[in-house]
Amino acid sequence: METDTADTGTGKELLELLGVSKQFHVRSGGRRARLSAVESVSLSVRQGTTLGIVGESGCGKSTLARVIVGLHLTDDGQMIFDGKQVLTHRRRSPAELKQMQMVFQDPSSALNPRATISESIGFPLQVQGESKAAIDERVAKVMRDVGLPAAYASHYPHQLSGGQRQRVNIARALALQPKLVVLDEAVSALDKSIQAQVLNLLTDLQEEYGLTYVFISHDLNVVRYISDDVAVMYLGQVVERGSAKELYDNPKHPYTQLLLSSVPTLNPADSTRDEPVDSADAKDTEIPSPIDPPSGCRFRTRCPFAMDICSQVAPAPVQLSADRSVACHLYSDAAAGADVQAVPA
């Protein structure tokens, strides 16, 4: 939940990413090409807090999520988790994998239709070699914690509603007692009223289990509602980072300003758009391909403030305050002396 940053978490970083990159080998126009899905991303998440990640479709949110939990191997960069280095270019050990769990968007396809609810939730524990008694006890506890009646243990996924199925997925993620849960569009497929219930459940569970979340969504209102800090991604890179309140109240990066200008309401109970952002301010709303991203600043082809330097030099993140950074030449020393106009609110 959005609160004063000084009051949230323990202040200790649970997860740190340093210059993490992930490329995919793809075919483009009959040729082999490299698609830069995540490029040199550095981020940190404080213990017990929620980092929201926003950005248009294809900007690399899910790829980053998969890198964090070990479903994708990286090409470059480092990851520190709970004070220890995790090698992200190699397969992880079961002990490492156990500490980070992921909840996906589609509550139905993430569950085996032929397994009962208790079998689905208990499966990761079975893989870890837990005894039947320990599994039964743990499954009963997490089912209670996510608000699923005990009688549902013998039910099958098709007998549950979408919201209940997502509770099963959350319970399954919690069964292994992870420290970090990565939620990738985890409430996006749910009706608004159910979405609000699941968001409240996530907030309660965070407190009870001391969980740290990375929360990904295209819905900017939902991200603001649940996040302590927010990172904005554009074409595989983090362009701005800050506390949810500061970032939404006073966006610095022209891309964040563009993204937020299209949010119709700040009430999470209201619906928000599902379409890509569009703005009269943007020079060109077409997103460049991550196979051949623009030189220098990747956002410059759409930026209403683009300067000469933007095509030549990729802007390094500028630290504006302890928890606020922006990667934009409007704020960097490299642009000092250039004719920089103040960014309109």
Ligand X SMILES: Nc1ncnc2c1ncn2[C@@H]1O[C@H](COP(=O)(O)OP(=O)(O)OP(=O)(O)O)[C@@H](O)[C@H]1O
| Residue ranges in contact with ligand X by CB under 6 A | 24, 26, 35, 37, 55, 57-63, 218, 290
Here the tokens at position 42 are: 């550095």
Token readout for 309 is 């330097």
- Nearer to ligand X by Cβ, of 205 and 232: the residue is 232
* 26 interface partner picked from Mg ion, ligand X, none, CB below 5 to 8 A per type: ligand X
- Residue 60 binding target from Mg ion, ligand X, none, CB below 5 to 8 Å by type: ligand X
Q: What is the DSSP string of 111-179?
A: S-TTS-HHHHHHHHHHHTT--HHHHHHHHHHHHHHTT--GGGGG--GGGS-HHHHHHHHHHHHHHT--S
Give the residue among 163, 160, 226 at the shortest CA–CA distance from 190: 163
Closest approach of Cβ 284 to Mg ion, in Å?
23
Based on CB atoms, which residue is closest to ligand X, 105 or 325?
A: 105
Q: Which positions ≥6 away from 186 have C-beta within 8 Å?
A: 103, 104, 105, 166, 169, 170, 198, 202, 215, 217
CB nearer to ligand X: pick between 58 and 147: 58
Stretch that binds Mg ion, among 59-67, 137-145, 262-270, 314-322 (CB under 5 A): 59-67
> 61 to 80, contacts with Mg ion by CB under 5 A?
61-62
Task: Give whichever of 53 and 205 is closer to ligand X, judged by the CB atom.
Answer: 53
Write down the least CB distance from residue 139 to ligand X, Å.
30
3-class SS of residue 222: helix
At how many degrees (to 10) do helices 132-145 and 162-175 cross? 130
**CB-based contact 270:250 (threshold 8 Å):** no
Q: Looking at the DSSP assignment, which residues form a beta bridge with residue 16?
A: 44, 80
124 vs 236, which CB is nearer to ligand X?
A: 236
Give the integer Cα–Cα distance in Å for 320 and 322: 7
Is residue 105 involved in binding Mg ion (CB under 5 A)?
Answer: no
Tokens of 262: 């299209």
Q: Output 185 or 228, the one with its CB closest to ligand X.
A: 185
Binding part of the chain for Mg ion, among 60-68, 76-84, 115-123, 286-294 by CB under 5 A, reads 60-68
Residue 272 DSSP code? -
- Determine, following the binding rule CB under 5 A, whether residue 166 of this chain makes contact with Mg ion: no
Number of residues that bind Mg ion (CB under 5 A): 2
Q: How far is the CB of 214 from ligand X (least distance, A)?
A: 12
Q: Nearest approach, Cβ of 59 to ligand X (angstroms)?
A: 4
Q: How many angstroms separate the CA atoms of 104 and 303, rounded?
A: 32
Which residues lie below 8 Å from residue 221, measured CB to CB, with a gap of 6+?
A: 263, 265, 266, 267, 268, 270, 272
CB of 160 to Mg ion, least distance (A): 24
123 contact, one of Mg ion, ligand X, none, CB 5-8 Å limit per kind: none
- Cβ–Cβ under 8 Å, residues 205 and 48: no
Residue placing its CB nearer to ligand X in the complex, 23 or 164:
23
H or E element that contains 183: strand 180-184
Contact of residue 310 among Mg ion, ligand X, none (CB under 5-8 Å per partner type): none
Q: Which does 58 bind (CB under 5 to 8 A by kind): Mg ion, ligand X, none?
A: ligand X
Partner whose footprint covers residue 35, from Mg ion, ligand X, none (CB < 5 to 8 Å by kind): ligand X
Q: Which is nearer to Mg ion, 164 or 169 (CB)?
A: 169
Q: Tell me how far, at minimum, the Cβ of 342 lies from ligand X, in Å.
A: 30
Residues lying near Mg ion in the complex (CB under 5 A): 61-62
